[in-house]
Structures are given as structure tokens and as C-alpha cells.
Amino acid sequence: MENRLVISVDSITRASQYTEDDETAEKTRSFTPGRIPKALIVHADPKNDNITAALRDRMAEILVSQGWEVEVRSLYEDSFNPVATADEVSYNKPSLDNIDPQVAEYQALIKQADALVLVYPLWWKQPPAMLKGWQDRVFSYGFAYEFVNNSPDSVISLLAGKKLLIINVAASSKDTYEDQGYLHYLDLADASLYGASGIELTGRHIIYSSTVMGMDDKKDCLDELSALVPLIKPSY
């Protein structure tokens, strides 16, 4: 059988692309050292055979083809626990021994990455609860931000210099999002979290009216992703 390139949901790096016949191919769980631009793509959708998954895979392919090292993680594939503990939402910096290994792994990837790409659907104009829980647990005090003299009004951003691109899939039309103010609502929520951490939100790309799109329209959506790469290009 002819080998076909398979995109791993767990990881994509220039050194770890593999074919479906290679069952022993190693899947890296972290980035390699060096000044190759690095992107972490986080996918939050329980379905793996829809336009959201296709956007995830296509964005990874584009970045790899342009020389990026890319780690792709699916929160549902990882069985990520989105329920934060009292310690995780406190304003006390946890010791390394008390951090959930799954949370620590995501934090390590974010720390190493130049860019973060979030790919998820909008349900009732909001992110899935899985993504919200991931944000609550991973972007914790002591990792993403700290306070000056214990004052919430004086924030030290600990992840400054990184860039963020959000790719959403929505059932509603663009007019609905614009006319009813949902875009402003989404941007405010993300500005609060990522602004505090110092990550720059460089763009939000929404695929509207996704439930009534034809195959040609979906293909066009995938082709449009190339234009988004300059938004997250590192400055070095």
C-alpha cells in the first residue's frame, strides 16, 4: 500500500511527521531547542471529523510547510479534566510538586511556544466548557501572571512576547455576531485572560454559517488559513 502522510493529533514537528504504515513512529511531547518558530495548536471539539478538525489539521500543515515546529493537542483526545481545584484558582503560587502533571505539560508547551493557536466551535456564542476549564487550570497564578504586593490592580504578565490566534466555527451568520455585539463580548473575555498574561491576541478568524456551508465553501475556508500565518510570526 502506498504510504500517505498522516497528521498526528498529538504532535506535529518537522522531525515527527509519519506515515500510516509506521506504527512505531515517535510522537514528541515537547518542542525541540533552537530558534525554529514554534506553535502550539489547541483543539477543543469532541468531534474529530468536522470542519473544526479540518481547520486544525490544515493550519498545522501550513505552519509545518513554512518551517514551523508545531505541537497539536486535542483537549478531548487528552481527556483533559476541565474542573479546577480550589488551589488552582487561588492567588497562591503552587509548588511544582502540587501541579497536576497534565496541567504542567500544557504549561511547559506554552512556555516554549512562540505562538498559541486555539481552534474551537462557538456554542451559544461561547467557547466549549472544556476550553474554559483548560484556561482556568492552565493560565494560573504564578504561571501566567502575578500581583504586585498582592494587589489585583497591579498585574505582572509572565507570558509576554507570545502571540495568539483564535480560529472559531459558528453556526450563526456574521451579521448576527456583529449586529448583536457577540464579537465585542468574545474579545473582551479573551482580552481579560490573555491580556493579563501578556499574550498578544493578533486575530480572531471565524467561519460563519458553518452548518449550511457546501464543500466548496469549506475548501475555501481551509485555503484562507495561509493568510493568517504572518499574524503570529515571531519578531526574531
Classify residue 26: in a domain, yes or no.
no
- The pLDDT of residue 35 is 86
E-only strand ranges, the chain: 5-6, 18-19, 38-43, 69-74, 115-121, 145-148, 151-157, 163-169, 200-207
Domains of the chain: total = 1
Structural domain for 161, as ranges: 5-18+35-230
Distance of CA 213 to the CA centre of its chain: 24
Classify residue 25: in a domain, yes or no.
no
The pLDDT-based confidence of 8 (bands split at 50, 70, 90) is: very low
Average pLDDT, the chain: 86
pLDDT score of 95 more than 80: no
pLDDT, tens only, 207-234: 999 999 888 898 999 999 999 999 999 9
Classify residue 87: in a domain, yes or no.
yes
What is Dmax (Cα atoms) for the chain? 64
Classify residue 144: in a domain, yes or no.
yes
pLDDT, tens only, 171-180: 999 999 999 9
- Supply 25's cell numbers: 513512529
Q: b or e along 150-167 (b: 16 or more beta carbons within 10 Å of the residue's beta carbon)? A: eeeeebeebbeebbbbbb
CATH number, domain with residue 184: 3.40.50.360
Classify residue 23: in a domain, yes or no.
no
- The pLDDT of residue 17 is 35
Distance, in Å, from the CA atom of 23 to the CA atom of 21, rounded to the nearest integer, reads 6
Distance, in Å, from the CA atom of 195 to the CA atom of 46, rounded to the nearest integer, reads 28
- Positive or negative CA dihedral for 157, 159, 165, 170? negative
Classify residue 30: in a domain, yes or no.
no
Phi, psi dihedrals of residue 13, rounded to the nearest 5°: -130, 165
Classify residue 226: in a domain, yes or no.
yes
- The pLDDT of residue 132 is 97
Distance, in Å, from the CA atom of 186 to the CA atom of 118, rounded to the nearest integer, reads 13
Distance, in Å, from the CA atom of 208 to the CA atom of 164, rounded to the nearest integer, reads 20
- The pLDDT of residue 235 is 83
The pTM assigned to this predicted structure is: 0.86
- The pLDDT of residue 13 is 34
- The pLDDT of residue 27 is 44
Residues whose CB is less than 8 angstroms from the CB of residue 62 and which lie 6 or more positions away in sequence, other chains included? 225, 226, 229
Bridging pattern class, strands 151-157 and 163-169 = unpaired
Classify residue 236: in a domain, yes or no.
no
